[in-house]
Amino acid sequence: MAVRSRRVDSVGDDAVTSVCPVGMETAVGICLAAGRAVVPNRMVGEQPCAAAVEIDAATPYSLSRASRVDLSKSFRLTDRSLYALARGFPELVKLNISGCTAFSATALGYLSGCCRKLKTLNLCGCVRTATDRVLKSIGFSCHQMQSLNLGWCDRVSDEGVKSLAYGCPNFRALDLCGRLLITDEIVVALAKNCLHLRSLRLYYCQNITDKAMYSLAQSRVRNKHDVWASLKGRYEKEGLTNLNISQCTALTTPAVQALCDSFPALHTCPDRHSLIISGWLSLTSVHCACAFQGQGHRGPHAVPHLAH
């Protein structure tokens, strides 16, 4: 079930609190049709807004079981909305508050303690909200977390992200774009603890060096035996499938090539571009296995020498 706001730029706290389960019947009208409950257009102050709740027709209707909420770019929202979500949606699995600049770290920390089933959280651009303290709270409470966007959150450092790596071992996707403060230590922690990681975005993380690339490649080698023991065909499907290291100017070609060789799903070829290295000319000689197919000296399962 999902709650999402329309005309998000004009939605205020009253709109969010009105769709929370407490007082729902007296706050809005509900129209059930084809498995969908719709909160009709109404006025919030002098601004129109609407919210929709998607439900399974086979499931008894209960807003407290809503699992997906999108409040992205709702610039008028304050902590009042986050506290209402925390109390009203304990089954929350996916939350998007990207671009919401008024939320405090305290309010998000409170929500993470109430909504322990969170799997997907988008905090892109939430400069005031995303702090190391909040990330520690998420790592402590939300062990099912799989996808987190921390792009351009400049108050996040190694300390906070390492707490996530230790507390959320099921991470599949992590976006750290624009995080100038982070170092190799984060990637090392992810490589050791988050073996299901499939997407990592490190755009403009200029403190990332070859150590991070070799750590990821070595994690692939360590995990190879377990993957083959369970199902050989999963080798190419497991591991990194998307990596953005554009503008990571400290990286060298041998380290990135070693990483590319270790993960067959990383491609530099135009039709399957999943290793993003634009903006750094010294890495243009890195090529995926596709470039060597038929030449006999490199294959998709090649494992590099990792002495570095």
Which pLDDT value is given to residue 291? 72
pTM above 0.95, yes or no: no
Q: Would you call 109 exposed, middle or buried from its count of C-beta atoms within 10 A (0-12, 13-18, 19+)? A: buried
Instruction: Quote the CA–CA distance of 71 and 260 in Å, as a whole number.
Output: 37
Non-local CB neighbours of 166 within 8 Å, separated by 6+ positions = 139, 189, 193
CA angle 186, 73, 275 (to 5 degrees): 40
Place of tokens 């929370």: 20
Say if CB 19 and CB 53 are below 8 A apart. Answer: yes
pLDDT at 64: 58
How high is the pLDDT of residue 221?
A: 74
Tokens at residue 131, please?
Answer: 């702090």
Q: How far is CA 133 from CA 15, 57, 100, 105, in A?
A: 28, 40, 18, 8
Instruction: Give the pLDDT score at 282.
Output: 81
Nearby residues of 52 by Cβ (< 8 Å), 6 or more positions away: 2, 3, 4, 6, 36, 37, 38, 39
pLDDT mean for each 10 residues of the chain (308 residues) = 52 72 35 29 35 37 71 93 94 96 97 97 96 98 98 96 97 95 96 96 96 94 56 62 95 96 93 88 87 51 40
Give me the pLDDT at residue 279, please. 80
Q: Which residues of 168-186 are buried (b: 16+ CB within 10 A; e: fewer)?
A: bbebbbbbbbbbebbbbbb
Q: Give the residue from 240, 242, 247 showing the smallest Cα distance to 208.
A: 247
Q: In what order do the strands lie in the sheet with 147-149?
A: 31-33, 36-44, 47-54, 2-6, 68-70, 94-96, 120-122, 147-149, 173-175, 199-201, 242-244, 275-276
